[in-house]
């Protein structure tokens, strides 16, 4: 009952790996997106499960050859939309192992070595950023939960966090995850201060100063360390100094851009990130891990346990054995998977130098795209390549930009998405997959030009 013999596990496991090998091997020749009509998918996959089971071979083939291909391939080398999830094979194998061993990573008592691995990686990430020795954190599902966790700590620990007029400041380019987190925490619209941006999308510091002068209970600034729309980075050193002077909590959303600190260009672009009180970053973005893997970092590690630790009676034995290393005390999750294993195995196997080179490749690819766009005067660069993202638009109205996205989606060769910047629609490329070839960038733009001629 609910079990396989060792022979069945070996046979089915090998078959699943074979399907994964075929998927990876054929990816470049496959379209980025191939999804059947919703009615067809509902009929096939939306029905209640059967009372009696089917042979696993049949279920596996239906899963790997019909169900999973009917999704966006965000690890495709020509997926340039939103933020890609390039992933890597070592991380995928790690997910299989973590799931197969079914590791509970919420406590030291249950997690053991998993806890040590997570602690070590958190220290390493904090060191890469340049945070002080007392910094620490916790791994979570992604940027949304990371931002929420950090802002919970900020609200609980800052003197103005629960003031009825506490004000939070963020730019018009800030990710919706932060605003959603603030709503969850009970902040009202009247407490949220949306600031304009200057240049290529960084927050207007002078506008922030003016707004701070008007508020009685300034609480938190949410800085951007790589906006999703344009890759812009707020002036973190200036914000850190201003927040220190005014006694304001400084949180940085580095979910997209944080991984760039591995290379020198990224460290330079993100200078000042180490001075933030808290930050969020996502290794499942620019550190090439399978979904899901986010991380919260705070300058003072103990603040996490000060806020989240609750010891129920049934957990007494956990704390009797070890009260200091229980990741369930650092966030909202008690039951936690061993998310850190995929990052640990990937780094152990490929080495940090390979990851550094892969991050640098994202900078290069965005610059290749910008150079190709500048060859044709029909294109306007909206924001130049910064932190692996370039935005642009074709001569014409906003509706044309959206038609170009739709044409590329129907074509299937590559995927890009649009955004709005300063009131105008813009196309954007986020080519951070290190497997992307230079020519694939150029061919994507050539196809856009062909579609624009007939749109």
Q: What is the per-residue pLDDT for 325? A: 86
Q: In this model, does residue 324 exceed pLDDT 80?
A: no
Q: DSSP strand E in 196-288: where?
A: 197-198, 202-203, 218-224, 249-254, 278-281
Q: What is the per-residue pLDDT for 77? A: 98
Give the least confident one: 11-15, 33-37, 114-118, 189-193.
33-37
The gap between the terminal CA atoms of the chain, to the nearest Å, is: 58
- 3-state per-residue secondary structure call for 58-111: HHHHHHHHHHHHHCECCCCCCECCCCCCCCCHHHHHHHHHHHHHCCCCCCHHHH
Confidence bin at 99 (pLDDT 50/70/90): very high
- Please, are residues 236 and 271 in contact by the beta-carbon 8 Å criterion? yes
Average pLDDT over residues 382-408: 98
Element (H, E) at 167: strand 167-171
Token code pair at residue 78: 């020509």
Q: Which CATH number fits domain 97-350: 3.40.50.300, 3.40.640.10, 3.30.56.10, 1.20.1250.20?
A: 3.40.640.10
Q: What is the per-residue pLDDT for 1? A: 86
- Tens-place pLDDT, residues 174-186: 999 999 999 999 9
Count of alpha carbons within 13 angstroms of residue 314, beta-carbon side: 1
Cβ count near 447 (within 10 Å):
16
Token code pair at residue 409: 């989606």
Domain residue spans of the chain: 97-350
**Which residues lie across from 165 on neighbouring strands?**
none
């Amino acid at each position: 009952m609910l079990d396989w013999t060792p022979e069945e596990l070996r046979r089915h496991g090998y078959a699943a790996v074979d399907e994964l090998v075929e998927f990876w091997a054929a990816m470049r020749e496959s379209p980025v997106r191939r999804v059947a009509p919703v009615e067809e998918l509902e009929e096939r996959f939306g029905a209640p499960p059967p009372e009696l089971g089917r042979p696993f071979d049949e279920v596996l083939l239906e899963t790997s050859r019909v169900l999973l291909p009917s999704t966006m391939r965000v690890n495709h080398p020509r997926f340039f939309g939103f933020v890609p999830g390039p992933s890597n094979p070592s991380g995928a194998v790690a997910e299989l192992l973590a799931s197969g061993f079914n590791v509970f990573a919420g406590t030291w008592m249950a997690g053991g070595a998993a806890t040590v691995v997570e602690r070590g990686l958190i220290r390493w990430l904090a060191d890469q950023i340049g945070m002080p020795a007392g910094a620490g954190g916790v791994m979570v599902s992604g940027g949304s939960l990371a931002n929420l966790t950090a802002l919970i700590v900020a609200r609980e620990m800052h003197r103005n966090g629960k003031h009825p007029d506490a004000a939070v400041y963020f730019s018009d380019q800030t990710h919706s995850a932060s605003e959603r987190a603030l709503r969850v925490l009970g902040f009202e619209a009247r407490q949220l201060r949306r600031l304009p941006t200057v240049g290529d999308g960084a927050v207007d510091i002078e506008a922030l100063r003016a707004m701070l002068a008007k508020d009685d209970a300034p609480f938190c600034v949410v800085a951007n360390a790589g906006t999703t729309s344009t890759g812009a980075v707020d002036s973190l050193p200036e914000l850190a100094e201003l927040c220190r002077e005014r006694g304001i909590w400084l949180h940085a959303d580095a979910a997209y851009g944080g991984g760039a600190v591995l290379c020198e260009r990224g460290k330079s672009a993100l200078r000042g990130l180490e001075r933030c009180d808290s930050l969020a970053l996502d290794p499942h973005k620019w550190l090439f891990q399978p979904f899901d893997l986010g991380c919260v970092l705070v300058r003072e590690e103990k603040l996490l346990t000060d806020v989240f630790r609750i010891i129920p009676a049934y957990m007494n034995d956990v704390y009797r054995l070890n009260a200091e290393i229980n990741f369930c005390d650092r966030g909202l999750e008690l039951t936690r998977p061993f998310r850190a294993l995929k990052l640990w195995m990937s780094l152990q196997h490929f080495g940090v130098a390979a990851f550094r080179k892969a991050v640098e490749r994202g900078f290069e690819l965005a610059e290749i795209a910008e150079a190709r766009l500048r060859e044709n005067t029909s294109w306007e660069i909206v924001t130049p390549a910064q932190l692996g993202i370039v935005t642009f638009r074709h001569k014409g109205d906003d509706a044309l930009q959206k038609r170009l996205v739709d044409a590329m989606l129907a074509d299937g060769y590559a995927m890009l998405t649009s955004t709005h910047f300063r009131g105008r629609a813009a196309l954007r490329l986020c080519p951070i997959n290190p497997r992307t070839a230079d020519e694939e960038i150029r061919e994507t733009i050539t196809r856009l030009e062909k579609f624009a001629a007939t749109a």
